[in-house]
Each structure stands twice: as structure tokens, then as C-alpha cells.
Amino acid sequence: MKPDVAVIIPAAGQGRRLGAGSSKVLVPVAGKPLELHALQSFQRAPSIGWIIVVARPQDRARLAALVRREKLTKVSAIVPGAASRAGSVSKGLAALPSRARWVMIHDGARPCVTRRLIETAVREAKRCGAVACGLPASLTVKVVDERHAVRLTLEHEAPADHGLLHGIVFFNGDLADHAVAVVEEVARERSHRAARRQVLLANIGRRRQAHR
């Protein structure tokens, strides 16, 4: 059976926190560019048919050269990213091949994904409909109010009826058409929120002028 899974790898971040002075995903780690670790894992995974890389416009030529040199034959597109992660994922979804039935999304700056994890995620996504991979949380998580007073501490080992806290490190395997719908809904909601903020700011501005 031919693979019917595509993976989108957003790698359009500027990497300011890393402080490397260049694209984070091209910084050498263990002898090769950071993103290459993940790219090679997906290249070797039998269930993956296509890899779509979302990159900064100024990084696309270097990434294309890397893909050719490393013979990453599953890379079907390198598309320019957007200002937000959701926007970049949306651009990756727009580049999906028509034969892709399932889509996975993996952060290009996370190099430790393995072929075994990929295959397990694909299998479980097809069994359950969607999947997100994570690790048991090791940090203490607290919920605070608007005054930054602690209202709730989430324990690492919660009672059995509440489950255990996990940090999501590898998002998600999902039906391709469903993933497109979800990202479009997120984009619409963010657009509506931005519009509401603009209206609020405009109203505040008018009120200030009225009180002068």
C-alpha cells in the first residue's frame, strides 16, 4: 500500500531566543543543521509519503540545496512561511498533494523525533482519528488570576480520574481535510479577535477625544 501521510514541518521562526544570529533550523547541532535531524527521520519513515517544509523566504534556497545534497526525495515543497505559526501551517496545508489522506505537523526545531515515534503516531492516528505525542510533565504548573495570585497548582501525578499532565512535543496526526478546517477556524477566530481589539481601541480613542 502506498503511503497516504504527509508531514508539514514549520521552520519559519526567527530564532531570537536562541541568539544564533541566523535561522534557528540551520544552526549546526551534532554535526548537521538542526532541521536535518527531523527531515531525515521523516524521510526514513515508511508511512510518510510527502514532506512539506515551511521556511523563511531568505532560507528557502539554502534548504533546497540541503534537500538536494541529502537526497531527501520525499520533500515535495518548500513554501514561504507567514508571520504566525498558524499562518505558516496554513500555507503548508495549502501545499498538500491531493493524494494525502492524513497530515502530521512537526516543529522543525525539534530534532529528536524518531522513526519509531512517527510510525507509532501514524498507526494511532489512523486508529483513533487524531493523535498528539507528549512527555510526562516535569515542571510545576500553577494557574494564576489577573493579579498573579496562585489559584490552582496542577500536580504532576494527579488522581486517577483526572489523568496525568503531559507536555505536547509532537503535534499531531490528523485527517488532512479536518486539519485544514481546524486551522482555518483558528485563523478566523484570531481575525475576529483582532477586529474586536481594533474596535475597542477606536472606541477608547473617541472617548478620550470627547473628554478633552
The pLDDT of residue 49 is: 96
* 192/207: higher pLDDT: 192
Q: Give the C-alpha distances (Å, rounded to integers) separating 96 from 49, 76, 99.
A: 11, 9, 8
pLDDT exceeding 70 applies to what percent of the chain? 68
Average pLDDT, the chain: 77
Residue 73 reports pLDDT greater than 70? yes
The pLDDT of residue 21 is: 57
Give one DSSP letter per residue of the chain, joined into a string.
----EEEEEEE----TTTT-SS-GGGSEETTEEHHHHHHHHHHH-TTEEEEEEEE-GGGHHHHHHHHHHTT-TTEEEEEE--SSHHHHHHHHHHT--TT--EEEE--TT-TT--HHHHHHHHHHHHHHSEEEEEEE--S-EEEE-TT--EEEEE-SS--TTT---EEEEEEEEEEHHHHHHHHHHHHHHHHHHHHHHHHHHHHHHHHHHHT-
The pLDDT of residue 24 is: 76
Residue 72 reports pLDDT greater than 90? yes
pLDDT tier at 112, thresholds 50, 70, 90: confident
The pLDDT of residue 22 is: 62
* 155/206: higher pLDDT: 155
The pTM of the full predicted model, rounded to 2 decimals, is: 0.73
Instruction: Report the distance separating Cα 103 and Cα 178, nearest Å.
Output: 9
pLDDT tier at 148, thresholds 50, 70, 90: confident
What pLDDT, in 10s, does the model give residues 2-44? 899 999 999 876 656 555 556 777 887 888 988 999 999 999 9
pLDDT tier at 202, thresholds 50, 70, 90: very low
The pLDDT of residue 126 is: 87
The pLDDT of residue 44 is: 96
Residue 208 reports pLDDT greater than 50? no
In 3D space, the residue among 72, 129, 95, 69 whose CA is nearest the CA of residue 10 turns out to be 95
Contact 48, 121 (CB under 8 A): no
Residue 192 reports pLDDT greater than 70? no
Residue 93 reports pLDDT greater than 70? yes
